[in-house]
Chains A and B, each alone.
Chain A
Amino acid sequence: MLPTPCTAHVPFDTIYEPAEDSYLFLDTLSSASETAWLTQHFAAPNPSPTILEVGSGSGVVLAFLVAHSPTILGRADVLSLATDLNRTACLATRETTTTPTTNASNPAAAPASHSPSPRANPAIKSTHLASVQSNLAAACKPGSIDILLFNPPYVPTDAVPRAPTAADFDADPQSRSEQFERESYLLSLTYAGGRDGMEITERLLADLPRVLSPRGVGYVLLCAQNRPREVVERIRGWTEGLESEGEGTTRRRWCAEMAGFSGTKAGWEKLVIVRVWREDL
Chain B
Amino acid sequence: MKLLTANFLTCAVKGCKAAASSYPLHFKDAELELQEIDFQPEFIHNIIPRIDWEGLRVMANELGFPKIPDLKPEGDALNDEQTMRDLHRVLLETHVMEGRLCCGNCGHEYMIKEGIANFLLPSHLV
Contact = CB atoms under 8 A, between A and B. Distances in A.
Interface of A: 44-45, 47-48, 50, 77, 79, 81, 83, 85, 87, 90-91, 94, 123-126, 128-135, 138-142, 144-145, 163-169, 210
Contact of B50 (A48, A163, A169): A48
29 contacts: A44-B46, A77-B42, A81-B5, A83-B119, A90-B116, A94-B116, A124-B40, A124-B43, A125-B40, A126-B92, A130-B2, A131-B1, A132-B1, A132-B116, A132-B119, A133-B118, A134-B12, A138-B119, A139-B117, A141-B8, A141-B9, A141-B10, A141-B52, A144-B8, A145-B8, A165-B120, A166-B121, A166-B122, A169-B118
Contacts of A142: 10, 17
Given A47-B49, A124-B43, A91 B116 contact: yes
Q: What 9 A-B pairs come out closest when comparing CB atoms?
A: A130-B1, A47-B49, A134-B119, A139-B119, A130-B5, A138-B12, A48-B46, A129-B5, A133-B118
Interface of B: 1-2, 4-5, 7-10, 12, 17, 23, 35, 37-38, 40, 42-43, 46-50, 52, 92, 111, 114-123, 126
Nearest to A84: B116
Contact of A81 (B8, B10, B46): B8
Contacts of B2: 128-130
Most chain A beta-carbon neighbours within 10 Å: one of B17, B52, B118 = B118
B88 to A, nearest CB: 11
Contacts of A125: 37-38, 40
Contacts of B47: 47-48, 77, 79
Contacts of A168: 120
A83 B119 CA distance: 9
Given A132-B9, A139-B12, A77 B46 contact: yes
A141 B37 CA distance: 27
Most chain B beta-carbon neighbours within 10 Å: one of A50, A128, A134 = A134
B46 A132 contact: no
B117 A85 contact: no
B40 A85 contact: no
Contact of A134 (B38, B49, B50, B120): B120
A165 B1 contact: no
B73 to A, nearest CB: 14
A45 B45 CA distance: 10
A50 B52 CA distance: 13
A91 B114 contact: yes
A140 B38 contact: no
B2 to A, nearest CB: 5
B118 A166 contact: yes
A124 B121 CA distance: 35
A134 B119 CA distance: 5
Contacts of A48: 43, 46-47, 50
Contacts of A128: 2
A140 B7 CA distance: 9
B27 to A, nearest CB: 13
A130 B115 contact: yes
A85 B126 CA distance: 14
A131 B116 contact: yes
Nearest to B48: A47
B49 A133 contact: no
Contacts of B119: 83, 132-135, 138-139
Contact of B40 (A81, A90, A123): A123
Contacts of B126: 163, 165
B41 to A, nearest CB: 11
Contact of A132 (B5, B38, B48, B123): B5
